[in-house]
Amino acid sequence: GVQTCALPIYRIDILVDEKLILELKAVESMKAIHEAQLLTYMKLSRIDTGLLINFNVRKLVDGIKRFKL
């Protein structure tokens, strides 16, 4: 028979100049899974810098977290 394998699809929200990944959220609070998602995208794409941005905050600066591999 034929074997099939379902591979997960990864979708980077925004890729800036092939050097920076922006992962955009609008959630009550950031969870470890959100960080893991961004870190996975960074590792798979071999891009060492990423920003996790949550728009559900009063001041946008409070919703930004930077990651570096």
Residue with tokens 């609070």: 29
Residue 4 is predicted with a pLDDT of 63
pLDDT tens per residue across span 4-36: 666 677 899 999 999 999 999 999 999 999 999
- One-letter-per-residue 3-state SS of 10-66: CCCCEEECCCEEEEEECCCCCCHHHHHHHHHHHHHHCCCEEEEEECCCCCHHHHEEE
pLDDT tens per residue across span 30-55: 999 999 999 999 999 999 999 999 99
Residues 64, 51: contact at Cβ < 8 Å? yes
Distance of CA 35 to the CA centre of its chain: 7
Residue 8 is predicted with a pLDDT of 72
Share of the chain above pLDDT 90, in %: 84
